[in-house]
Amino acid sequence: MKQTNQHKEIWKLLEEVPDPEIPVLTILDLGVVRNVEIEKGGKVIVTITPTYSGCPAMNTFETDVIKKLNDNGFNQVTVNTVYSPAWTTDWINPEALQKLKDYGIAPPIKGSRDKGVLFATEKLKVACPRCNSEDTTMVSQFGSTACKALYKCNTCLEPFDYFKCI
């Protein structure tokens, strides 16, 4: 599909919609926006995929997308949620991985989607986002949100969240 100036404007506006749980990231950083369509008559349809099926931020994503586009002259906006293909942390862009680390959250480690890692039957070497030490320990399978695990650095003794791979 040919990208019009309106498409480009909408994508640019979506770059400004933050993740309500991690405000240094946008919904584009996370890769949850799958598509933008503009129908004849100007109706805009934004398709998003949740980071996981029970993600409480999805309602906020939808509300924020509609508000952002309405505030910028797009008055007919629909947000569709699709579950297939399932979202994966592979959709997080490289700049966002660095933003996570700079914010104090260890970014997902590529290739660590093994269920043994998710359920702590295998040790995952998660580097501390503050001091970069890999001498860390998982404290809890769940951190500040369900998509993160709580770790502690054994070197600098700071707790931190790890954004789990999905």
Determine the Cα–Cα distance for residues 142 and 81; give it in Å rounded to an integer.
25
Residue 2 confidence (pLDDT) = 59
Burial of 102 (0-12, 13-18, 19+ CB in 10 A): exposed
pTM of the model: 0.85
Among 2.40.30.10, 3.40.190.10, 3.30.300.130, 3.90.1150.10, what is the CATH number of 5-87?
A: 3.30.300.130
Residue 143 confidence (pLDDT) = 87
In 3-state terms, the chain is what percent helix, strand and coil (to 5)? 25, 20, 50
Determine the Cα–Cα distance for residues 81 and 43; give it in Å rounded to an integer.
17
Nearest to 129 by CA among 148, 88, 151, 101: 101
**In the chain, where the domains are located:** 5-87, 93-163
Residue 102 confidence (pLDDT) = 97
Mean pLDDT by 10 residues, the chain (166 residues): 83 96 94 95 95 85 97 97 92 95 94 53 84 96 88 97 87
A 10 A CB-CB count for 147 gives 22
